[in-house]
Amino acid sequence: MTSPIKTTAEIVEGAAMPRARVVHTTDCAPTPEQQPLPKAVADKPFEQKSPAEWAYERLILYIKNFEEQLDNNHEVAMGFTGGGAGVMRIEGMGFYAPDVLTFYGSDPSGMKTQQIQHVSQLNVMLRALPKDTNQPEPNRIGFRLAADLEEA
């Protein structure tokens, strides 16, 4: 079998296009798979990113999208599967190329927590937790992380 011949422009365009797809059972707000990548993310070809950097950027888009759907009484938290780690209120997130993601935060009782995870083991569930009653506004880590992507 032979593969179809592509022009240089088609190859470059194909590399720049995110490959994502989603189907929902009901009408809902657009999800990250349905939205264009932010310019700063799209400007660097994914072939030049480590698996950790690429996972970090996409996870930010999911967190920000999740937060956009929350009311002012809730904040984003994440649960980790495959263990008794429980739920973590997300207070920070980073990556260490080529293959490690790090999550910083606190558990529902306020204890400081940190999760260090290899990209091959990434399996995160986003959850809504009530915000601290002592703070007037919920923390929106997804918006801070997305702004940082644009500045990078």
Does residue 21 surpass a pLDDT of 80?
no
User: Is residue 114 in a domain?
Assistant: yes
- Model pLDDT for residues 85-141, shown as the tens digit of each residue: 688 899 999 999 899 998 998 888 888 888 888 999 888 889 999 988 888 999 899
The answer as to whether 3 is a domain residue is: no
Residue 127 lies in a domain: yes
Residue 81 lies in a domain: yes
Question: Scanning the structure block, which residue is given the tokens 């194909």?
Answer: 14
Number of structural domains (the chain) is 1
Containing domain of residue 35, as a range? Answer: 8-151
- Of 79, 77, 101, 81, nearest to 91 by C-alpha is 77
Q: Does a structural domain hold residue 2?
A: no
Question: H or E stretch including 149?
Answer: helix 141-151
Identify the pLDDT of residue 132: 85
Beta-carbon count within 10 A of 77 CB: 23
Is the sign of the CA dihedral 85, 118, 90, 30 positive or negative?
Answer: negative
**pLDDT above 80 for 68:** yes
- Count of other CB atoms within 10 angstroms of residue 60: 23
Task: Give the model's pLDDT for residue 56.
Answer: 93
Model pTM greater than 0.85?
Answer: no
The reported pLDDT for the residue numbered 149 is 83
pLDDT at 107: 86
In a domain, 25, yes or no: yes
| Residues in CB range of 62: below 8 A, 6 or more apart | 32, 126
For the segment 21-27, the average pLDDT, to the nearest whole number, is 77
Residue 16, pLDDT > 80, answer no
**1 within some domain:** no
Contact 85, 70 (CB under 8 A): no
**Cα–Cα distance between 30 and 124 in angstroms, integer?**
20
The secondary structure of 118-146 as a DSSP string is EGGG--EEEEEEEPPTTSSS---HHHHHH
pLDDT band at 59 (very low <50, low <70, confident <90, very high): very high
The answer to whether position 56 is within a domain reads: yes
* pLDDT given at position 108: 85
